[in-house]
Structure 1
Amino acid sequence: MKFLPVLFWLVLMVLDACEGQHGGDVSDTKGVVKQSAIQSDSLRVLKRTKRRWVLTTFVLKENAQPPFPKIAGDLFNDQAVNMSIRYLISGPGVDTLPEIGLFSMDDQTGRVYVHRTIDREKTPLFEICFDAAERATGRIVDRSLIFNIEVEDENDNPPVFRKPVYEIKIKETVNLDNPVIQVIADDKDKEGTLNSVFTYSLLTQIPSLPSVKFSIDPKVGLIRGQGCLNYETASVIKLIVGARDNGNPQLSSTATVILNILDGNNNLPALTTQNFNLTVKEGETSKELLRIKVEDKDLPHTPAWCAKFKIISGNENQNFNLTTDPVTNEGVLDVIKPLDFESTLFKIIKFSVDNEEPVFVCNNSKLRLNASPVLSSGTIYITVTDLNDAPIFNPPSQTIRQKEGLPPGTVLGRVNATDPDRVPNKIRFTIAEDPAGWVTVDEVTGEVKTVQELDRESPEVKDNLYKIVIHAIDDGSPPQTGSSTLNLLLSDINDNKPRLVTPYVERCERLSKQPLSVQAVDKDQDPFSGPFTFELGDTSRAIQEMWQLGRSAGDSVELSMLQNLPRGNYSVPLTIFDRQGSASTQALVVRVCFCPDGVTCEKMQPSSHSMGGGGIGIIIGALLLLLLAVCLLMCFLCSSGKKKRSVFLPNDEGNQTLIKYNEEGGSALSQASPALLFANGNGRGNGNIDFMAKDKDGVGHSGTLQRNQLDPWEQNASGTAPSNIKRQMLPLTQAALNEMLQQNPGIRSQTENSSYTLNSKYMKNGSMRNSGTRAYLDRVGEILNYKLQGFVDESDTAVYQPRTYAYEGELDRVGSMSSFSIPGSENDLTYLDDLGSKFSTLEEICRMK
């Protein structure tokens, strides 16, 4: 085959030489042949023409090594025989992409050169264009030659895996007979040659397990295994796979396959304890009565690890619920329905535990599903303790039919209740719900009686049904209560008379000829209600001539005015009969009014009041008199202020609620009962005041305070009596007077705070020379007389015995403040010799004998 191009080239040279020797004949022959070809072109399908371009084989090797340029091939055009031509080359690899300047050509000889190394995988084929042009004119003398130059492949690319690392997750329970994963590699060398054909192989398995062996298909790269996976033995398996081609030299590459094993259920849960003993109270529910622990070797918090508990027996009444705690994987036993001691004293619950995922077993290196595994099981022994049970009514509820209007004392029925305990307790009945208070129940017998008349029309009755709730309470410990419902279905009687829906209607005066529609209603049901019969309740001539009843519609009647009545309110008596003849008479008020819009009556304006000129004058006069009185009062107060030194005004501070305690060293007020003072029966003329008081020892003292025994005494400008004044002794015992002053803080305060003093050292011959004293005594008598009116005789007051509230023992005795010693105090009491004018009266009273 290599010699064919050379042989073909030699043949062409011989033909060209012959044509040169016989140029004319050949040309003529060519012309004849060409003319004959044109004439017979339509008669021939194929025509062989003479080749004008002659090419040698172009040889381009991939990855050729320097030196460059290298000869790629030669070409020749037969026009070069007749003229001087220039060969031209263009196309990819010459002056266009992908590789510019890769090829060049000798324009005289037609030799083609390559200038650098070629990568076949980058550009496997070059499509180059060759032309022949006349050298003198540049005219293209022949058709262009398009030639494809193919690069010869060299095994310079190994097969490469599409991923360097393959990582997948597979279940522990997967069947390894089926393909686990497929790896794929590619070779860039020329397809269909030995350089691009490769095979797969498994190089290494990490770890190497005797029970599991993996293999790979050499042609397609499918990986399979033999044996059974075990998560507890190896959770990750690495496989190193390779791909090798058949070129010269052989090239290869590797990839890593990582198999992450997911835990499957190949381990059953096992109970740590098989038997349990519990005590449960009857009548109670319980959360987490028991927690059951299990052990499972599978991966926690996976379906292969999660336990699933099942009650096998002992829960026929659905009293228990056995669930799984998702966090701890423990079984949780709950009592969801109370147990009954009287029916069951002892319960035995049997249960088993499984996984949420079916369990698999490896048998003869083959994984199989275990259809009937041996599950771990346990037993719970429950003892029921007795508690007091609530009484049970039989039947739980009753419906009694009765007519309304039954008189009090009527027996409606009886309720029955029993105690389910083995030792029955005593039961008493009571009313728990009776909205209208109609019934009562006998505590012992359960007999239900009425205490009021039953009324079907009561708002507490719904759809003729009145609900009563009765409780049965036993005397157990603790007491329990049962409940029963007594439904009273009340039938109607004719105990209600028909009434007007509204007793007031309005009619426009222009529409007085149109009848009014009057409606009535009856609370009773059929046949004790409508249709109604209407009549005028007054047969007098005046009513008959003014009103007339028309057509009746069962619950309404037409009322017509026989006259054009003026505006105002009119009363129309109507008598309404129900079907049973029960009647009532009512007055219908008809207002005849003016209607601005012809339909609706104008609104009634509220009555208004106006004040005339006389009333306004009276108000103005009263205001003027009030202003005058205020002016006079101001003048009086001003004049009183100017005469303050000459006019004696007693100090009334003792009449106030608050008493001044702004003097240091004052003794505590006595808490004894106040002295009872009584006004002298001689009246206000003599001003005598009888008194009676008790001292602290309970001894009574009495006397008379005689105002006529006090003579006037003089007062100097400073408000203090002169020293030569002496006071006549009053007919009072010293103990009684002291007790009176101690028991009446108001009198003592007034005496102490007054602007005058009653000191014995200011008394002279028992006479007082200031007339202000008499005014003071008059004022004191008035105050005492006023206070005496507020006292109540001891015989009229209620006697309340002392009562102890939350007695907490004897109180701690606290010493007197006077017992405290003050460091640094010299106890100098000389300042008490002269305390001032405010203490003179108190000093005088204390020195009375």
Structure 2
Amino acid sequence: MVWLALLCCALLGVTSSSELMIRRRRSWIIDSFTLEEGHPGPFPYELGKIKVERSYQITFEIFGMGVDEHPEGVLTIDSTTGILSAHKSVDYEELKTLKLKLLASKDDKTLDTKLGIEISILDINDNPPRFPNDLYEVTVEEAVAQGTNLLSVLAYDRDRPETPNSTFHYEIGTVSPKPPNAEFVMGLSGQLSFRGCLDYEVGDVYKVLLVAKDHGEVVSLSSTTTALIHIQDGNNHLPVITGKTGTMTVKEGETGVVPLRLHVADRDLEHTPAWNAKYTIEGDTGGNFKVETDPITNDGILTVLKPLDFEEVTERELLFSVENEMPYYSCKVKARPTSGLWEVDTSGGPAGPVGAGPKPDSLRVTIQVEDINDPPMFTVLVHEAGLVENVAIGTYVQTVTAVDPDSSHARDFVYKIGKDPGDWLNVDPHTGVITTAKRPDRESPHVVDNIYTAILHAVDSGEPPMTGTATLLLHVFDQNDNAPTLSVNNVVVCIGDVPTSTNLTALDPDDVPFGGPFTFELLGEVEGKWSVDPLHGYKVNLVKETIVHSGIHMVELKISDLQGAFAVNNLSVTVCDCTATPSCRERRASSSTVGFGATGILFFALLVLMITLMLSFLMTCKKDFTFLKTDLPNGESLLSSNVEIPGTDCKIPTKPPTKFYLPVHDFVEIMQRTSSFKAVQESFHQQDYWEYNQRRSTHMYQYQEGSAKSGFLSDGGLLELLQQRMQRVQATEDDLHDYYPHLYADEGDDADPHNDQEKIDILEAVFDHRQLDDLGPRFKGLASVCTPAQ
């Protein structure tokens, strides 16, 4: 290679400096230099010399890796001689080659030669094979078959590939505890397995040291990792029944009781699938029992699932067997060849033959059945019968029969009615004959889908008494025993220039063919006033002609069913002016409510009339009377005020008036105090009350159909006025404006001091109205207010 460099220098030497700037020079690579990694020194030491033959002096320089690039400071070159020197060691695993540039210059600093240099790093065995993890863990069953791959590991070596330094193999180091019947082995690719039989009783965890060792020529390096092999206990000990406790007796009809507990022992690890017991029963042909495992004690608990019958069998013989949740397994080593798997003998488990191994432990137990008083049993649990409604009391319905399974109590029982919601039935306690106690009614609320349901009992005389139950479904057939009726008995109809109508619906609780469609017919003098359309169906329109005036009208409507049975329905029709009272039509839905309110107003007005008449009667003058006592118990006295003779400003009647007249303004005041009669208040306030105040000053108020009463209404006029106002009230309270009373005077005003009334104290004694005749002149004003003039 040196001669190639000399040839290159000779060729470059004949090139002028001007050509160096124009033409690219060829570069030669000198790769004969090597550098051993990890060289121990001493430093520096010579790697080699670069020779360029020239007739003139040349200066050498190098640049690149190991000089001014990473790793810096490794190499230097003598500028005059061209000797390369190494100053420190390098790592092959970090850099495989160092690449540099060599420049040779003349004395005038012009470039003479440019070369590329590669220095190869020689690998040494300085890296052992490494495992990725320092610890590996795996859990396997005790019954796992030999040769099974337990764990796989993979080591690596950073030394130069495909050299002895990077080639390695796996070994087993130490094993703790050392199994007497098993041996762990490592495969070429790092698979950990075993041969022989694992034994949980020897150790539940095996600690295995794994070794990876290389094949270095000068020195062999290795590293280790640890594998923890956790062994799950296998079922290599079967449970054994050690005893039993319990009464071993069951009363017939009982469920949920525990007559027996089985006790077992197992040498496997407690509360593992290899220890948990599993019980089976043979001989339980009726499925009357179940056996469960106590999770704490491992006992077998026998429970009665279905009731036993003493009359069928007096005892039950059961065979109990016990085994574990995990299948039984055993393994024994027979031979240990030097290569391959060992010869072993297994029974049960995943590697053993099916059905091999010892038989489960078992125990035979006899369960005694005790006799108890059984309830009577009906031969038919659901009876069905049919009756036409309204049949006579005592009509035969059905006969029920029961038997008593206990021979000692045979026929020693009575029949009773258990549930009879309408008290329709009687039952003979000895024969079971059922008859009617009432007339059946298909429309009764106790009949659902034409069926009346009753419960029957048969009660024996045992200790305690037992009861058998049966059901009676009584089909009730319909009769035409109900006449059609209207769904409502009052409606509201608007008055108008054209006939108006309202819709009515007829109902009949009877079934087909005793119901609708119905026939409708108006009775009475309805010609030109009322009519119905259509005449047949379930709904009908009541048509009001224009001549019908406002007010409350009674209309008789005859409704007949398909069989001719009929009823006359009295329908109250309120006719009102919907234009004068816009809410009249809306009040159809609440007409009944408004009717009650109007009726209440009328009754209240009549009550006021009666009270006022009574007061007037009491104030009537009579000849005989008893004077008031002027001496009071507390020392006070009552001054006599009857010293004056009757004046001319007020005449007190000596007889009760033949007719009572109530001032309109007093009636309005009464109405104002009753908040529930706001509609009447509004009506009086807007018309009569306003009119009265306009005429009050001249005493000219007159009322039609009565004589001049100076602002008073007769009792007949009052009733007529009430009736008219009630017919015109067609709105709910929420539709009217609030009424604000007229202000006449504030309390305390002294407009007329001569009309002041003195306080009159009357003792709690028998009061005679004649005592008022001599109370004095100031009482005359009060008398004139309370009593109308003659």
Q: Is the 8 A contact 1:279 1:384 kept in 2?
A: yes
Give the 3 Å change call, closer, same or farther, for CA 183–163 of structure 1 in structure 2.
Answer: same
Partner of 2:99: 127
- Which AA in structure 2 matches 1:635? G
Partner of 1:505: 491
Q: Which secondary structure state, in structure 2, belongs to the residue aligned with residue 536 of structure 1?
A: strand
Partner of 2:563: 580
Give the 3 Å change call, closer, same or farther, for CA 16–236 of structure 1 in structure 2.
Answer: closer
Q: Which secondary structure state, in structure 2, belongs to the residue aligned with residue 158 of structure 1?
A: coil
The correspondence of residues 366-445 of structure 1 with structure 2, limited to 5 A, is: 367=346, 368-372=351-355, 373=357, 374-425=359-410, 426-445=412-431
- Say whether residues 1:92 and 2:75 are aligned partners: no
Partner of 1:254: 224
Give the 3 Å change call, closer, same or farther, for CA 598–82 of structure 1 in structure 2.
Answer: farther
Q: Which secondary structure state, in structure 2, belongs to the residue aligned with residue 186 of structure 1?
A: coil
Q: Which has the larger radius of gyration?
A: 1
CA deviation string 1:121-163 (max 9, x = no partner): 23332222222344434x44444x3333221122222223332
- Say whether residues 1:564 and 2:543 are aligned partners: no
Q: Is the 8 A contact 2:556 2:570 kept in 1?
A: yes
Give the 3 Å change call, closer, same or farther, for CA 549–209 of structure 1 in structure 2.
Answer: closer
The correspondence of residues 478-489 of structure 1 with structure 2, limited to 5 A, is: 478-489=464-475
Partner of 1:794: none
Q: Which secondary structure state, in structure 1, belongs to the residue aligned with residue 635 of structure 2?
A: helix
C-alpha distance in 2, partners of 1:156/1:458?
108
C-alpha distance in 2, partners of 1:51/1:161?
49
Unaligned runs of 5+ in 1: 32-37, 39-48, 623-627, 638-849
The correspondence of residues 69-148 of structure 1 with structure 2, limited to 5 A, is: 69-77=44-52, 81=54, 84-97=57-70, 99-137=71-109, 139-143=110-114, 145-148=115-118
Partner of 2:763: none
Give the 3 Å change call, closer, same or farther, for CA 83–489 of structure 1 in structure 2.
Answer: farther
Q: Is the 8 A contact 2:503 2:542 kept in 1?
A: yes
CA deviation string 1:277-316 (max 9, x = no partner): 7111111113433222222222222222222222222x22
C-alpha distance in 1, partners of 2:554/2:9?
152
Partner of 1:65: 40
After TM superposition, the structure 1 stretch with the greater mean CA deviation from structure 2, 189-198 or 398-407, is 189-198
- Say whether residues 1:361 and 2:330 are aligned partners: yes
C-alpha distance in 2, partners of 1:157/1:16?
43
Q: Which secondary structure state, in structure 2, belongs to the residue aligned with residue 299 of structure 1?
A: coil
Q: Is the 8 A contact 2:31 2:117 kept in 1?
A: no
C-alpha distance in 2, partners of 1:112/1:16?
19
C-alpha distance in 2, partners of 1:631/1:91?
146
Partner of 1:244: 213
- Say whether residues 1:286 and 2:261 are aligned partners: no
Give the 3 Å change call, closer, same or farther, for CA 146–171 of structure 1 in structure 2.
Answer: farther
Report how far residue 496 of structure 1 moved.
Answer: 1.0
Give the 3 Å change call, closer, same or farther, for CA 254–511 of structure 1 in structure 2.
Answer: farther
Report how far residue 58 of structure 1 moved.
Answer: 1.6
Q: Is the 8 A contact 1:211 1:365 kept in 2?
A: no
Q: Is the 8 A contact 1:348 1:382 kept in 2?
A: yes
After TM superposition, the structure 1 stretch with the greater mean CA deviation from structure 2, 344-353 or 184-193, is 184-193
Give the 3 Å change call, closer, same or farther, for CA 458–69 of structure 1 in structure 2.
Answer: same
Give the 3 Å change call, closer, same or farther, for CA 350–370 of structure 1 in structure 2.
Answer: farther
Q: Is the 8 A contact 1:85 1:132 kept in 2?
A: yes
Q: Which secondary structure state, in structure 1, belongs to the residue aligned with residue 226 of structure 2?
A: strand
Q: Is the 8 A contact 1:430 1:472 kept in 2?
A: yes
Report how far residue 345 of structure 1 moved.
Answer: 0.5
Q: Which secondary structure state, in structure 2, belongs to the residue aligned with residue 600 of structure 1?
A: helix
- Say whether residues 1:591 and 2:570 are aligned partners: no
After TM superposition, the structure 1 stretch with the greater mean CA deviation from structure 2, 383-392 or 514-523, is 514-523
Partner of 2:119: 149
Give the 3 Å change call, closer, same or farther, for CA 500–15 of structure 1 in structure 2.
Answer: closer
C-alpha distance in 1, partners of 2:526/2:270?
101
After TM superposition, the structure 1 stretch with the greater mean CA deviation from structure 2, 302-311 or 454-463, is 302-311
- Which AA in structure 2 matches 1:282? E
Q: Which secondary structure state, in structure 2, belongs to the residue aligned with residue 59 of structure 1?
A: strand
Partner of 2:318: 349
Q: 1:300 aligns with which of 267, 270, 281?
A: 270
- Which AA in structure 2 matches 1:225? F
Q: 2:451 aligns with which of 462, 465, 471?
A: 465
Report how far residue 615 of structure 1 moved.
Answer: 7.4
C-alpha distance in 2, partners of 1:266/1:630?
124
Q: Is the 8 A contact 2:424 2:436 kept in 1?
A: yes
Partner of 2:644: none
Partner of 1:634: 634
The correspondence of residues 681-696 of structure 1 with structure 2, limited to 5 A, is: none
Q: 2:197 aligns with which of 192, 206, 228?
A: 228
Q: Is the 8 A contact 2:5 2:51 kept in 1?
A: no
Partner of 2:690: none
Report how far residue 401 of structure 1 moved.
Answer: 1.0
Give the 3 Å change call, closer, same or farther, for CA 56–333 of structure 1 in structure 2.
Answer: closer
- Say whether residues 1:192 and 2:162 are aligned partners: yes
Partner of 2:153: 183
Partner of 1:164: 134
Give the 3 Å change call, closer, same or farther, for CA 629–125 of structure 1 in structure 2.
Answer: farther
Give the 3 Å change call, closer, same or farther, for CA 142–428 of structure 1 in structure 2.
Answer: same
Q: Is the 8 A contact 1:92 1:100 kept in 2?
A: yes
Report how far residue 599 of structure 1 moved.
Answer: 3.8
- Say whether residues 1:555 and 2:538 are aligned partners: yes
Q: Which secondary structure state, in structure 2, belongs to the residue aligned with residue 298 of structure 1?
A: coil
C-alpha distance in 1, partners of 2:564/2:25?
141
Report how far residue 421 of structure 1 moved.
Answer: 0.6
After TM superposition, the structure 1 stretch with the greater mean CA deviation from structure 2, 169-178 or 184-193, is 184-193
C-alpha distance in 2, partners of 1:383/1:629?
104
CA deviation string 1:756-806 (max 9, x = no partner): xxxxxxxxxxxxxxxxxxxxxxxxxxxxxxxxxxxxxxxxxxxxxxxxxxx
Q: Is the 8 A contact 1:278 1:382 kept in 2?
A: yes
CA deviation string 1:732-755 (max 9, x = no partner): xxxxxxxxxxxxxxxxxxxxxxxx
Report how far residue 568 of structure 1 moved.
Answer: 0.9
C-alpha distance in 2, partners of 1:440/1:615?
62
Q: Which secondary structure state, in structure 1, belongs to the residue aligned with residue 447 of structure 2?
A: coil
Give the 3 Å change call, closer, same or farther, for CA 187–527 of structure 1 in structure 2.
Answer: same
What is the alpha-carbon root mean square deviation over aligned residues?
3.5
C-alpha distance in 2, partners of 1:384/1:63?
94
Q: 2:239 aligns with which of 248, 269, 286?
A: 269
CA deviation string 1:575-616 (max 9, x = no partner): 11111111111211111112215743487464286889x979
Identity %: 35
Report how far residue 514 of structure 1 moved.
Answer: 3.0
C-alpha distance in 1, partners of 2:552/2:583?
20
After TM superposition, the structure 1 stretch with the greater mean CA deviation from structure 2, 468-477 or 510-519, is 510-519
Partner of 2:777: none
CA deviation string 1:171-192 (max 9, x = no partner): 1111221222223322222222
Report how far residue 120 of structure 1 moved.
Answer: 2.1
C-alpha distance in 2, partners of 1:76/1:190?
32
C-alpha distance in 2, partners of 1:187/1:511?
117
C-alpha distance in 1, partners of 2:129/2:633?
130
Q: Is the 8 A contact 1:512 1:564 kept in 2?
A: no
The correspondence of residues 450-461 of structure 1 with structure 2, limited to 5 A, is: 450-461=436-447
The count of aligned residue pairs is 590
